[in-house]
Amino acid sequence: MSEQTVQIRTSGKVLQSPCGPIVHGLEDVLIKNTTISDIDGEKGILWYRGYRIEDLAKFSNYEEVSFLVLYGRLPTRSELKEYERRLKSSRDLHPATVEVIRALAKAHPMFALEAAVAAEGAYDEDNQKLIEALRVGRYKAEEKELAYRIAEKLIAKLPTMVAYHYRFSKGLELVRPRDDLSHAANFLYMMFGKEPDPLAAKGIDLYLILHADHEVPASTFTAHVVASTLSDLYSSVAAAIAALKGPLHGGANEMAVRNYLEIGDPSKAKELVEAATKPGGPKLMGVGHRVYKAYDPRARIFKEFSRDYVAKFGDPKNLFAVASAIEHEVLNNPYFQQRKLYPNVDFWSGIAFYYMGVPYEYFTPIFAVSRVVGWVAHILEYWENNRIFRPRACYAGPHDLQYIPIDQR
């Protein structure tokens, strides 16, 4: 390594490296070619497989979108019907997985979700077959078909895992999945034990569409890293869930709703936003994004849904009113304008969840219920040209120190 010290400015600070440029946090580092999703952060555009998120949100549902993300094209009517049938037939869990979830009833649901995914992988015979094939370096047509079957199972099972944990955490009897309900409606049915209001089911379906993929954030990158070792899909998704659990990734919508409840009164928004511009001031959760330097298109879509939801069911805690007032102040404040900080999807998505009766701690698991299709699609794409990830670190310590025996130190 060169002994020359290189200064790198990243995220507002200078890093020292004797080895060469270090991209702190791997910001904007390219890891592969993809056809799954694309983001124009400057213009605020999101595409899945070339389709604008606005069109998919308006015309599609999660089942069709998940098929698109996973298989790379929109399905025919017969293909979609058969895909839905396969998902419905895979919704329930191995009895041992159910017991794992029961044992973790008092744990945060993200811990239970990690464990449940790993457990289900241990008992899935298809997964064991794929593991054996990957172990000997075999990944041809038969193994790919197996991998896609496992991917579909993961999409089908994550809602059940989350709903079962909710039931156990409340000391309630399990509500088994029904095969006559959509992906979103069945999820709410399993959680609350009754068929959901159609608008609530629409809201969950919309949320699942908006979060199905988002290029390569931390959780998706984690899935790539694990899968690159030729570990299995279940283990890769469990690792992705662990990354999503971190407060810098998932969970911003929970904190946003907590902020709205604490503020309580829209008239306080101007003072709050002004305080956020000062050093050491409060952080506005759901404002700003690593990629978007314009208004998040998903936020615009879910804002409209949130407006419809409170119009029907009311806004007794002033959540929508407070959020609207904060947004108005943010969009008209020079501090946020100059830094291109706009509301993102987390700014709006938790409001409807709260009014549906979904506890805060389940907001991020529902994110995982959506994003699982993006995780598995990226893994399968990467396996087409797999190479194990092996980055390097710049060693900045001494060499060839003399060892001193312990009784001479």
Point out the catalytic residue in the list 211, 224, 289, 378: 289
CB burial of residue 365 (10 Å; 0-12, 13-18, 19+):
buried
**What region does 163 belong to: left with phi over 0, alpha with psi -120 to 50, or beta?**
alpha
- Annotation marks residue 315 as catalytic: no
The partner residues of 40 in beta bridges, in order of sequence, read 45
CB proximity list for 226: less than 8 A, separation 6 or greater:
235, 236, 239, 240
- Which among 4, 37, 9 is positioned nearest to 23, based on CA atoms? 9
Cα 226 to Cα 237: distance, rounded to the nearest angstrom: 9
Point out the catalytic residue in the list 124, 224, 346, 378: 346
The partner residues of 47 in beta bridges, in order of sequence, read 38, 52
The partner residues of 260 in beta bridges, in order of sequence, read none
The two beta strands, 13-17 and 51-52, are unpaired
How far CA 243 is from CA of 107, 114, 359, 369, in Å, comes to 17, 10, 21, 14
- Annotation marks residue 180 as catalytic: no
CB proximity list for 304: less than 8 A, separation 6 or greater:
none
Are 92 and 161 in contact by the 8 Å Cβ rule? The answer is no
Task: List active site positions.
Answer: 289, 346
